[in-house]
């Protein structure tokens, strides 16, 4: 997240074509591109927090789903080990096996989905047809037969790993689908899928975190792609603002005369879009504040658990 935030901050007002249907549509900015992806990852912290809270309940003492014939103090055990939520009905705790693992992979899967989309965007933006970014040496690979090639296949591999991750999630869902209440041996295979899935996710996050800061925008290629037709919507809005023409009429009027459009100052256009979330008002400070708040919460959770566990090991 920090890598994408820094990319947005460093190139906040650098123009960039905005695409819909993989066709150039409206002017955007490098700041909006990286900032949007950073925001998506910050939003995923909500899902990760939900998965954490779901798993923050101690199942010890539930046995095979029906409790045990001993006077166990399950609440004390739960508090001693640092679990936040009290134990449930024993059968509910048993039935949660697989459900908790699925929630964890679903939450981390949202991160993988976002990294996959980022990777696809970057692969497209760095194709010979676009060439909007360069990257430092060491982040591209060559071809087995074409000496001139410099492929951004790190991002292709991240995209491929996202598909592989989806297979792990699907496998986990399939294991738990239709199970009867109480313990079933099928559940033995759930942990391996979670461990492998989280390993894949961590590797992808690490790779992208290293690669994104090494990217730099190429102004001349970007400006060459900011053709006058991308500003057609801006011209239509101008007719609405300045002449009071209904947008539907302005839309038709501008659409009939696309060939006469002239490209304005690209940088000025980026800065002039001042409504919240647009290129001139991305709210990156608010994004950073939200990120720092979430990271502080996770750091305190980690510190509290590690302190508790270290205390138990010393006893």
Tokens of 83: 């679990």
DSSP state of 141: B
Residues 6+ apart with CB under 8 A from 182: 64, 65, 66, 91, 94, 95
Active-site entry in 57, 94, 143, 260: 143
CA angle 231, 232, 235 (to 5 degrees): 90
Active-site entry in 21, 144, 260, 275: 21
21: annotated active-site residue: yes
DSSP state of 179: P
For 167, other C-beta atoms within 10 Å of its C-beta total: 11
C-alpha to C-alpha distances, 136 to 38, 71, 144, nearest whole angstrom: 21, 63, 21
143: annotated active-site residue: yes
Residue showing tokens 């559940």: 187
Active site (catalytic) residues: 21, 143
């Amino acid at each position: 997240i920090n890598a994408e935030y820094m990319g947005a901050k460093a190139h906040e007002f650098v123009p960039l074509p905005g695409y819909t249907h993989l066709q150039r549509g409206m002017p955007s900015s490098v700041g909006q591109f990286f900032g949007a992806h950073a925001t998506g990852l910050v939003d995923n912290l909500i899902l990760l927090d939900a998965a954490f809270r779901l798993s923050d309940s101690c199942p010890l003492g539930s046995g095979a789903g029906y409790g045990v014939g001993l006077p166990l103090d399950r609440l004390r055990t739960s508090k001693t080990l640092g679990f936040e939520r009290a134990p449930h009905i024993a059968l509910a705790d048993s039935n949660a096996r697989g459900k908790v693992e699925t929630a964890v992979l679903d939450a981390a899967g949202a991160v993988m989905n976002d990294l996959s989309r980022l990777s696809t965007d970057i692969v497209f933006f760095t194709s010979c047809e676009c060439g909007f970014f360069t990257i430092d040496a060491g982040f591209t690979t060559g071809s087995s037969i074409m000496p001139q090639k410099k492929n951004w296949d790190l991002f292709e591999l991240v995209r491929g790993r996202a598909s592989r991750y989806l297979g792990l999630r699907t496998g986990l869902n399939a294991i738990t689908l239709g199970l009867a209440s109480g313990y079933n041996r099928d559940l033995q295979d759930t942990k391996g899928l979670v461990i492998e899935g989280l390993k894949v996710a961590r590797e992808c996050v690490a790779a992208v975190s290293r690669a994104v800061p090494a990217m730099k925008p190429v102004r001349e290629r970007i400006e060459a792609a900011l053709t006058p037709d991308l500003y057609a919507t801006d011209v239509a809005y101008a007719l609405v603002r300045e002449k009071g023409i209904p947008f539907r009429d302005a839309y038709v009027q501008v659409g009939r005369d696309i060939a006469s459009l002239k490209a304005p100052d690209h940088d000025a256009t980026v800065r002039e879009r001042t409504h919240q979330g647009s290129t001139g008002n991305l709210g990156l400070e608010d994004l950073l504040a939200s990120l720092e708040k979430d990271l502080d919460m996770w750091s305190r959770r980690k510190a509290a658990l590690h302190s508790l566990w270290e205390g138990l090991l010393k006893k």
